[in-house]
Amino acid sequence: MFSLPLGDGAVLVPLEISHAEEFAGHMDRAREHIRPWVGPAFVTADVEGARATLARYAERQARDGARIYGVRQDGALVGGVMFTEFSTALGACELGCWLEPAAEGRGLITRACAALLDWALTERGLARAEWRCRADNPRSSAVSERLGMTLEGVLREAWPYQGARYDKQLWAVLARDWRAREH
């Protein structure tokens, strides 16, 4: 398995079905913290759910679609990043992320997402990368800004959660803008 150094003892690694037990343990630490900000199907409750989530991503990756990667800090899985959508036919992708509270504030997600953007927009030749987040999630919006993305709009009341509806921001960066920036 490959790993990409992110600095400060952190690495980016692919997550595979064989990581289901570790992923489930990680979800136990992260679940309540990430639940408001990620899709409900992602927040698994046990090893079987973790295996199903990782299997969905493995199947999609096998068709050159969505992919999922873990962020390890000093060997422990503390979060991750993914292409929730990846389409060479459309020339576009969407990134997502999650992180345990103890790993926040170190720039891990920004560095991991930059690696995914480099690969998608430079090596794979996609034209556009998107980032969607709840409008009341300033940490997520800050990552998209650090990545050089532009806020393209707000989808009003597009995010249902626990009986309420929240606005969703749509951020994006075009390949030409990504390649032109210094990073």
CATH of domain 4-180: 3.40.630.30
Q: Can you tell me the distance from the alpha carbon of 104 to that of 67, in angstroms, rounded to the nearest whole number?
A: 22
Confidence check: pLDDT of 78 > 70: yes
pLDDT tens per residue across span 105-138 = 999 999 999 999 999 999 999 999 999 999 999 9
Count of residues in the chain = 183
Q: Domain locations in the chain?
A: 4-180
Query: Other CB atoms closer than 10 Å to residue 14's CB: what's the count?
Result: 17
Residue 40, pLDDT score:
82
Q: What average pLDDT does the segment 67-77 reach?
A: 97
What's the half-sphere exposure (Cβ side, CA atoms, 13 Å) at 115? Answer: 22
pLDDT at 182: 67
> Does pLDDT of 183 surpass 60?
no
Predicted confidence band of residue 173 (pLDDT cuts 50, 70, 90): very high
Q: Name residues whose C-beta falls within 8 Å of residue 37's C-beta, 6 or more positions apart in sequence.
A: 98, 133, 134, 137, 140
Which distant-in-sequence residues (6+ apart) come within 8 Å of 172 by Cβ? Answer: 128, 129, 130, 131, 149, 150, 152
Span 10-68, pLDDT tens digits: 999 999 999 999 999 999 999 999 999 998 888 888 999 999 999 999 999 999 999 99
Spatial contact of 31 and 43, defined as CB atoms under 8 Å apart: yes
Distance, CA of 166 to CA of 37 (rounded, Å):
11
| Three-state helix/strand/coil letters over the chain | CCCEEEECCEEEEECCHHHHHHHHHHHHHHHHHHCCCCCCCCCCCCHHHHHHHHHHHHHHHHCCCCEEEEEEECCEEEEEEEEEEEECCCCEEEEEEEECHHHCCCCHHHHHHHHHHHHHHHHCCCCEEEEEEECCCHHHHHHHHHCCCEEEEEEEEEEEECCEEEEEEEEEEEHHHHHHCCC
Beta-carbon contacts of residue 181 (< 8 Å; ≥ 6 apart)? 148
